[in-house]
Amino acid sequence: MNFSNEVFLSNLAQTTQQPYGISIERAEGIYLYAPDGKRYTDMISGIAVSSIGHRHPRVIQAIKNQLDKHLHVMVYGEFIQSSPNLLAAKLTSLLPASLNCCYFVNSGTEANEGALKLAKRFTGRTEIISCKKSYHGSTHGSLSVSGNEMKKSAFRPLLPDVRFIDFNNPDDLHYITERTACVIMETIQGDAGVRIPDTSYLQAVRKRCDETGALLILDEIQCGMGRTGTLFAFEQFGIVPDILTLAKAFGGGLPIGTFIADKRIMQCLTHDPPLGHITTFGGNPVCCASALATLEVIEEEKLLATVEKKGRLMEQLLHHPSVKAIRRKGLLFAIDFETAEQVNRIVEFAKEEGIICYWFLSHPNSFRIAPPLTITEDQVREACKAIVRAIDKSL
């Protein structure tokens, strides 16, 4: 073991006993490079983050420009700074009129924490409804509304008054009542293994929230930012949430999240109590510059136009007799196999082939593929060939 491995294992907190554990020196586009020069194709975008590829030149330039102006100057919400202003203006111009006010935070879980607090404060209610098998983050509030019991039990007590309903089951919607502050759900469940709801289901959720006055929070931290072929996944279901949460790919590789609502709702964080939600680093000017450049790249390079075509091509190329099912929306894939052990072997053999694919948090017998949206069709073909070789070896 070399020095850097030893530090990684001893002086950096570990989250699993089997970390993926490759060393990375630099990254460019869809590729990661190890210190020995080995090249890996990043078929998971650093878990749905590097959707416009690693170190997109436009993003790097925007970061450099901001570095020359200023870094952090004040906690969120006090000073007027052009970087978060420009980002909020651009982002809200791409959203329906009712999603006109952004609160910038530092991560996905924080975006959901803010959204939950906002819903409780706005409605004056306490009950939160979430979905079984959901994942919303690892801090106490987001963990409380995540569905995987195995990940939660050691950390109880968690938030009270949380009820879980079946995802995509209209029979459970009667649990949403006048007591409910909010319903939080992923538009497409990511870590449950890419679960795509019926349009009629999401529309019924929207209707039930309207009838009861519960706010609908859609978590698009994983499925947003073009991953499914539209900038926001909810656009494909004909509904608009009351609060939208984004992170991951939103920052183009720097850490930033946001919860977005109508000003009428968001305004309540300013009084009773004042400073109802605060953050030191939220809206960091460098992260905002990176996020703005990312939105511009998605738009100017017309990335959304090719997502579905590349997704369909990948789906065709990944057909293999031992694949049990493929669930896909755009370039977000779950590929199911008979056993978790086979999935582990595939992920390992793919690594040897120089392809990074990975597991889901709550769905052990499938692996995830979510390549940068910038991947070319030739790169899709090359990567899929290597993945199929890894599947062959796993048999």
Residues binding ligand PMP (CB under 6 A): 107-109, 112, 135-137, 186, 190-191, 219, 221-222, 247
For the CB of residue 2, give the shortest distance to ligand PMP in the complex, in Å. Answer: 29
What's the token pair of residue 265? Answer: 């709702």
Cβ neighbours of 166 (radius 10 Å): 13
Largest CA distance in the chain: 61
For the CB of residue 376, give the shortest distance to ligand PMP in the complex, in Å. Answer: 26
1 vs 150, which CB is nearer to ligand PMP?
A: 150
361 vs 391, which CB is nearer to ligand PMP?
A: 361
136 vs 208, which CB is nearer to ligand PMP?
A: 136
Q: Phi, psi at residue 252, to the nearest 5°?
A: 65, 20
For the CB of residue 277, give the shortest distance to ligand PMP in the complex, in Å. Answer: 16
Pair 222, 190: CB distance under 8 Å? yes
123 vs 362, which CB is nearer to ligand PMP?
A: 362
Cβ neighbours of 316 (radius 10 Å): 10
196 vs 247, which CB is nearer to ligand PMP?
A: 247
Sign of the CA dihedral running 231, 237, 241, 245: negative
54 vs 133, which CB is nearer to ligand PMP?
A: 133
116 vs 350, which CB is nearer to ligand PMP?
A: 116
Strands 39-42 and 355-356 turn out to be: parallel
Sign of the CA dihedral running 248, 251, 254, 256: negative
- The Cα 361–Cα 367 span in angstroms is 10
Ordered DSSP codes for 105-174: ESSHHHHHHHHHHHHHHHH---EEEEETT----SSHHHHHT---HHHHGGG-S--SSEEEE-TT-GGGGG
For the CB of residue 112, give the shortest distance to ligand PMP in the complex, in Å. Answer: 6
> Which residue, judged by CB position, is nearest to ligand PMP in the bound state?
108
* Residue located via tokens 């006993």: 17
83 vs 109, which CB is nearer to ligand PMP?
A: 109
- The Cα 139–Cα 108 span in angstroms is 10
Alpha helices in the chain (DSSP H): 3-10, 45-48, 57-67, 82-93, 108-123, 140-144, 149-152, 199-212, 263-266, 285-300, 304-317, 340-352, 377-394
Q: What is the DSSP letter of 271?
A: S
For the CB of residue 110, give the shortest distance to ligand PMP in the complex, in Å. Answer: 7
For the CB of residue 186, give the shortest distance to ligand PMP in the complex, in Å. Answer: 5
For the CB of residue 139, give the shortest distance to ligand PMP in the complex, in Å. Answer: 7
For the CB of residue 39, give the shortest distance to ligand PMP in the complex, in Å. Answer: 26
276 closest CA partner among 4, 76, 83, 127: 76
For the CB of residue 287, give the shortest distance to ligand PMP in the complex, in Å. Answer: 12
Strand ranges of the sheet holding 358-359, from the earlier edge strand across to the other edge? 325-329, 332-336, 366-369, 358-359
184 vs 391, which CB is nearer to ligand PMP?
A: 184
102 vs 384, which CB is nearer to ligand PMP?
A: 102
For the CB of residue 129, give the shortest distance to ligand PMP in the complex, in Å. Answer: 16
Question: Does residue 19 have a cis peptide bond before it, meaning omega lies within 30 degrees of 0?
Answer: no
Cβ neighbours of 365 (radius 10 Å): 20
